Amino acid sequence: MKKALVPLANGFEDIEAVAVIDILRRGRVDVVTASLGYDTEVMSAHGIPMRADAPLEEVLENDYDAIILPGGGEGTENLRLCEPLLDRLRRQKDEGRFVCAICAAPTVLAAAGVLEHEQVTCYPTCVADLGRESAGVPVVADGQVITGQAPGAAILFGLALLHQLMGDEIAHRVADGMVTHLG
């Protein structure tokens, strides 16, 4: 079974976290959510509390096929300040596994130094913090790096992740069940 880690920091963008977690779980990916602090309750950018599966420190060293970072201004800044997470992202990329981020969170991938020559996308106002050009499209999958542009791209981003992890048939089955056209 494929396994994914979704770190949740206070201020995470609600739809970017929930849509991705939901889509991956529909596709039978084992998704572990982790709070940055010891308390597993994390508050979203829009005031919705969410209970993570475990504190990050308890699950960070496990093997994951993908690590997925939701955006949100405050959430992204909190992720960027978490040095153990940045170290884990570097190791994840070195191991040939997926590092993924949406909205403002691709800037965390940049801060971790895991972006090389891959094309990426991000929220338009975050391009300067990205330190490179943004593709300016909803989703980009380039090698081990998958990025999404904004909350409006969350479902497509989740389906792109599912496609990379579980293949075309499962991604289409989940998309069809959601009445979402993948093409």
Any idea what the CATH number is for the domain that residue 113 is in? 3.40.50.880
103 is catalytic: yes
Beta bridge partners of 88: none
Q: Structure pTM?
A: 0.97
Out of 82, 100, 103, 122, the active site residue is 103
Q: Is residue 27 part of a domain?
A: yes
Residue-range definition of the domain harbouring residue 62: 3-177
Tell me whether residue 182 is in a domain: no
- Specify the number of domains making up the chain: 1
Please state whether beta strands 30-35 and 54-55 pair in parallel, antiparallel, or not at all (unpaired): parallel
Is 183 part of any domain?
A: no
Supply angle C-alpha 117, 118, 121, rounded to 5: 130
Whether 10 is covered by a domain: the verdict is yes
**Could you read off the pLDDT tens digit of each residue along the chain, which spans 183 residues?**
999 999 999 999 999 999 999 999 999 999 999 999 999 999 999 999 999 999 999 999 999 999 999 999 999 999 999 999 999 999 999 999 999 999 999 999 999 999 999 999 999 999 999 989 999 999 999 999 999 999 999 999 999 999 999 999 999 999 999 999 887
The answer to whether position 105 is within a domain reads: yes
Radius of gyration (C-alpha) of the chain in whole angstroms: 15
Task: Using DSSP, state whether 33 is helix, strand or coil.
Answer: strand
Residues in Cβ contact with 75 at an 8 Å cutoff, skipping those fewer than 6 apart: 8, 9, 10, 11, 12, 13, 44, 45, 104, 105
